[in-house]
Chains A and B, each alone.
Chain A
Amino acid sequence: VTKRLAWILGAGARLLPPGRRQWAEAVGAEAGEVAAGWPRLCWLAGGLWLVFREANVVRKFVYWLGVGAVAAAAAWVVWLTWRTYPAADPLAVTDRVRVGVGAAALVVLPWVGRRRGWFGPVGRSITARLVRVAGCVAVCGTGLAVVRMDSPLFSGPHGPGPFSLSREIAALVVLGVTLAALAVARARWADADPSLLWAVVGLAGAVILVVVPVQALAVVYVAGILAATSRRSPVANASLAAGAIAGLAAGLAATLAFDAAGGDDSYAILLLFGMITMLFLLAAVAGAAAAWRLSGTGDPEELRAARALQGLLAGAVAGAVCGLLVTNFVILAGMVLMVIGPLAGLGGGVVGGAIVADHPPEARPDRSWAAGLFVLRS
């Protein structure tokens, strides 16, 4: 048994990143010194436990389980667009394209970001993994909501309208021209003002949003989720968590309020205004919390800027989460919130971050438990 365990330990060590591999090999190298029998068995078992921990086996397994759930949900929604429409329904193509674009974004963008880049790989924290998986599942949920709303087999009073190839082509042309213009601008004018480039991107995005709103929102949200949860993301874990919690709270409250209104359109604008106000306030709280979590870096100006940025990002996350959640249940109001929500959240986050930005960093315990190593800094 010990020989087999030693072999498994040697093989398991190869699963570890290069910086960690030597530690598992060290356990194997020492095994010969340990008394044969039960003590050596325990020693090698400890080595296997080391490999298990350092390879983050549980975390990776759960994450890939989540990725599998996203893939299954996307495939299910795509199948539904074929299943729930009569074959002869001329309007069916519209939703098949809408859902197909969202599903394609879920497949293509992670593939694009499989190497280091804006979209991936996923951050190491549990928060980033959870937000990425839950966010992608929620995007699939919006596809389901689209199918349910438009399908004649459900109650769907809102027809998707006939498929417009010209709109799809127009959106693709705008996208292509924008990407080409950006590539040319980066190649020829390396010192071009970034704000000008972002303005071009914003303008093109607005045009695409008007032409093909559902597809544009699906792609932008998938890209946003991947970017916010990637290893290179500027969104700190605390900001991601604070924004997600605030967004879930706002989204839940909004969903319940819209549900209670029971489709009474006379109060729709008032209700939407109330929801946006609530989102703004919750985003401000999230922004303040995210900013407060940042400790001092030594430079007050640097700290103030970093806090303001994290407040802004936490607010934007809150708005996006709220919009995405509401769309799963109240699609029309939700899609409005998917556009306005991040802007309202961003505004709230800026206010919350600004309130805390000038607050002096407080000395507070920074604790960590890691493999029996407990560090408490004060």
Chain B
Amino acid sequence: VEEGSRFSAQTLSVLAALCAEPRAWRHGYGIAKDTGLKSGSLYPILIRLADRGLVEARWEEEQPAGRPRRHLYRLTSDGLAAATAALTAVPAAPAGMARSRRAAVPRRLAGEGS
């Protein structure tokens, strides 16, 4: 990721959720609960982040009883660096965004960002 990359408020919230436990594998519904995003917004963001090599994804290896296998996500090392940089610069990043979008960035971003 080039220096100076900025992300949307929604993407920042996803990065913040993944940053909370960088080495842990998270599932989509858990991230959705943390960020308040609907599946129709969350998954396209995860796809683009994965396309850019910022997020890695895999299926659960073992079939759990009583539910389907989950698709799991976590930040790559590049993703962690980019997320840390982006979350540190949160006040500056959403400068060009609408007020409502800026407001959507969870307050805890700043605390969890690094």
Contact = CB atoms under 8 A, between A and B. Distances in A.
Given A46-B41, A374-B97, 18 more contacts: A23-B46, A25-B71, A29-B70, A29-B71, A30-B27, A34-B29, A43-B32, A46-B42, A50-B39, A50-B44, A54-B47, A373-B11, A373-B45, A373-B48, A374-B7, A375-B7, A376-B5, A376-B96
6 contacts: A22-B57, A43-B29, A46-B42, A47-B39, A50-B43, A371-B41
Interface of B: 2, 4-8, 10-11, 27-29, 32, 38-49, 57, 59, 67-71, 96-97
Contacts of A27: 28, 39, 43
A45 B40 CA distance: 7
Given A375-B6, A376-B4, A370 B44 contact: yes
A28 B11 CA distance: 22
Given A46-B39, A372-B45, A373-B45, A26 B70 contact: yes
B39 A43 contact: yes
Contact of A373 (B4, B7, B32, B39): B7
Nearest to B57: A22
A375 B5 contact: yes
Q: How large is the interface on A (under 10, 10 to 19, 20 to 34, 35 or more residues)?
A: 20 to 34
Interface in A343-378: 370-378
B4 A371 contact: no
A378 B67 contact: no
A39 to B, nearest CB: 10
Contacts of A20: 47
A191 to B, nearest CB: 39
A335 B4 CA distance: 51
Contacts of B32: 43
A369 B68 CA distance: 33
A48 to B, nearest CB: 8
A298 interface: no
